[in-house]
Chain A
Amino acid sequence: MTVTTVESQEMPVFPLARPARCPFDPPTEYRSWQQDSGPRQVRLPSGQLAWVVTKHDEARASLSDPRLSNDILNPRMPKLQPFASSSANNPGTLAFIRMDDPEHARQRRMLTAAFTVKQTESMRPMIQELVDARLDRMIRNGPPADLVSVFALPIPSEVITHMLGISYEEHTFFQSNASMIIDLTNTPEEAGRAFMALTDFFGEIVSQKEREPGDDLVSQLLSQRVATGELTREFLVTMMRTLLIAGHETTANMIALSTLTLLRNPEQLARVRDAGDPALIANAVEELLRYLSITENLVYRVAAEDFTISDQLVRAGEGVIISLPTANRDATVFESPDKFDIDRNTAGHIAFGYGVHQCLGQNLARVELQVAVPTLLRRLPGLRLAVPFEEVSFRADTGTYGVHRLPIEWQPYQRTT
């Protein structure tokens, strides 16, 4: 068993920066830690120490170990998000995704029926319509455009608001507040205010659905779970806020980064664009998920009791950060892991996490990506970046990786006179 003796002076401060020339790759240091046995100890900006898990097998083992707690109320939880210490952590209004079982499982199970493979597949025509309507508008307005603001952000927003039965007109309100919560550079006060604004907003939505139930998830949960006493109204509000934040920014970043990745790999872009085979598109999406693994600094836990990761003792109360992007580049699982290859066997990627907290909305995200990305490529002929690649501004210091803007242009349709 290894005893921790790393001097604090030489301890790296997490998170480290990605290599400037390879913005799709995880920080080089994390890749070198992958060669060691066991996790690597780091210091967080909060001053806390934590362990970083970078290997695929250790990531899977850690994420399925019940001794690693996801309870945000644990005062020793690594503080990586600004709201981790804000007023948002009232026990009565806590998000189930930051709880442990059994309460986490109890609340999650109220939502799983809405996100099954069949249920999300049945949403494909609706998603296709939303994507086509967005593209109609882009084509009407003509190039250039910022893909993030006119396509990548609105699509998941429209899908989740459709599921929740909320008018899409509120979407700018969502976007600004959801971004404030996720952006690690915001102060806890800013993030806390955004959190409260979204909470108030969903409180009003729930009141509205109480008065006028519709054919939507909020109304279903009200009649099936709140009315029976299984779920408090406060928890329902929190659930809605959680679904919105989780389902919105993540998919948006995946749409934008997927487009950028394919633009950098034109032969594979052409195959995704021209594919008549849904299996090719499905595997390309899995590879994009593996290669990009955008939830870079969002998966962290605290040891509820002493345990070991490989030979390293992790003591109760110590934080553990699981680096999904690095684990998904583990050469012992994925051959030539830094190569983007839509034909590879992607089985085993953990872009959606692993264990009981694995992403609830993963099948919805898959359908959204399978529809949005190929449709975009087909309908905007000659799609290209409108700026040099070096000028694309990547989001650093946020929990979710992405780009701030993605200026694109394409061959406008010729008008016949």
Chain B
Amino acid sequence: MKIAIDAGACIGAGQCVLSAPAVFDQDERDGTVVLLQPEPSLNLRNAVLEAAEKCPARVIEVDE
């Protein structure tokens, strides 16, 4: 599972951090998404898919 993000289009809502805190964080300066694990293990799959689904700006792409 590979994750790609578009931090430039991120609105800093933080939904990804609530869904998968091991994979996503927010930049301290502007709240935009920081990818902690670009290729997380499969046990985080559901959390990552939920993060991508909830993202209001649709900036998380998951390639399974």
Which of A's residues lie within 8 Å of B, judged by CB? 63-64, 105, 108-110, 112-113, 115-118, 347-348, 352-356, 358-360, 362-363
B12, B17, B53, B54: the one within 8 Å of A112 (CB)? B12
Determine the residue in chain B with the shortest Cβ distance to A104. B11
Determine the residue in chain B with the shortest Cβ distance to A286. B18
Question: Do A117 and B30 touch (CB < 8 A)?
Answer: no
Give the one of A112, A113, A118, A359 with max B CB within 10 A.
Answer: A112
Question: Do B12 and A355 touch (CB < 8 A)?
Answer: no
Question: Do B26 and A109 touch (CB < 8 A)?
Answer: no
Residues of chain A lying within 8 A (CB to CB) of residue B53: 347-348
Question: Do A116 and B26 touch (CB < 8 A)?
Answer: yes
A356→B54 CA distance, assembly (Å): 12
Question: Do A112 and B56 touch (CB < 8 A)?
Answer: no
Q: Measured between C-beta atoms, what is the minimum distance from A108 to chain B in Å?
A: 7
Determine the residue in chain B with the shortest Cβ distance to A120. B14
Q: Measured between C-beta atoms, what is the minimum distance from B24 to chain A in Å?
A: 9
Question: Do A113 and B11 touch (CB < 8 A)?
Answer: no
Determine the residue in chain A with the shortest Cβ distance to B12. A112
Which of B's residues lie within 8 Å of A, judged by CB? 11-14, 17-18, 21, 25-32, 50, 53-54, 56-58
Residues of chain B lying within 8 A (CB to CB) of residue A112: 11-12, 26, 30-32
Residues of chain A lying within 8 A (CB to CB) of residue B12: 108-109, 112-113, 115-116, 360
Question: Do A118 and B11 touch (CB < 8 A)?
Answer: no
A267→B13 CA distance, assembly (Å): 33
Residues of chain A lying within 8 A (CB to CB) of residue B28: 113, 116
Q: Measured between C-beta atoms, what is the minimum distance from A410 to chain B in Å?
A: 33
A105→B59 CA distance, assembly (Å): 14
Beyond contacts A64-B58, A108-B12, A354-B56: 5 other A-B pairs, Cβ-Cβ < 8 A, are A64-B57, A109-B12, A347-B54, A358-B11, A362-B13
26 A-B contact pairs sorted by A residue (CB < 8 Å): A63-B56, A64-B56, A64-B57, A64-B58, A108-B11, A110-B30, A112-B31, A113-B12, A113-B28, A113-B29, A115-B31, A117-B14, A117-B18, A118-B25, A118-B26, A347-B54, A352-B13, A353-B56, A355-B57, A358-B13, A358-B57, A360-B12, A360-B13, A362-B13, A362-B14, A363-B14
Q: Measured between C-beta atoms, what is the minimum distance from B2 to chain A in Å?
A: 22
Q: Is the interface of B mostly helix, strand, loop or mixed?
A: loop
Give the one of B30, B50, B53 with max A CB within 10 A.
Answer: B30
Question: Do A116 and B14 touch (CB < 8 A)?
Answer: yes
Question: Do B17 and A116 touch (CB < 8 A)?
Answer: yes
Residues of chain B lying within 8 A (CB to CB) of residue A348: 53-54
Q: Measured between C-beta atoms, what is the minimum distance from A123 to chain B in Å?
A: 14
Residues of chain A lying within 8 A (CB to CB) of residue B32: 109, 112
Give the one of B11, B13, B18, B54 with max A CB within 10 A.
Answer: B13
A115→B32 CA distance, assembly (Å): 11
Determine the residue in chain B with the shortest Cβ distance to A109. B30
Question: Do B11 and A356 touch (CB < 8 A)?
Answer: yes
Q: Measured between C-beta atoms, what is the minimum distance from A261 to chain B in Å?
A: 22
Q: Measured between C-beta atoms, what is the minimum distance from A107 to chain B in Å?
A: 12
A363→B31 CA distance, assembly (Å): 12
A328→B55 CA distance, assembly (Å): 17
A356→B29 CA distance, assembly (Å): 19
Determine the residue in chain A with the shortest Cβ distance to B25. A118
Determine the residue in chain B with the shortest Cβ distance to A108. B11
The 8 closest A-B CB pairs, nearest first, are A112-B31, A112-B12, A358-B56, A116-B26, A117-B14, A117-B17, A116-B31, A113-B31
Question: Do B26 and A356 touch (CB < 8 A)?
Answer: no
Residues of chain A lying within 8 A (CB to CB) of residue B18: 117, 363
Residues of chain B lying within 8 A (CB to CB) of residue A108: 11-12
Q: Measured between C-beta atoms, what is the minimum distance from A325 to chain B in Å?
A: 18
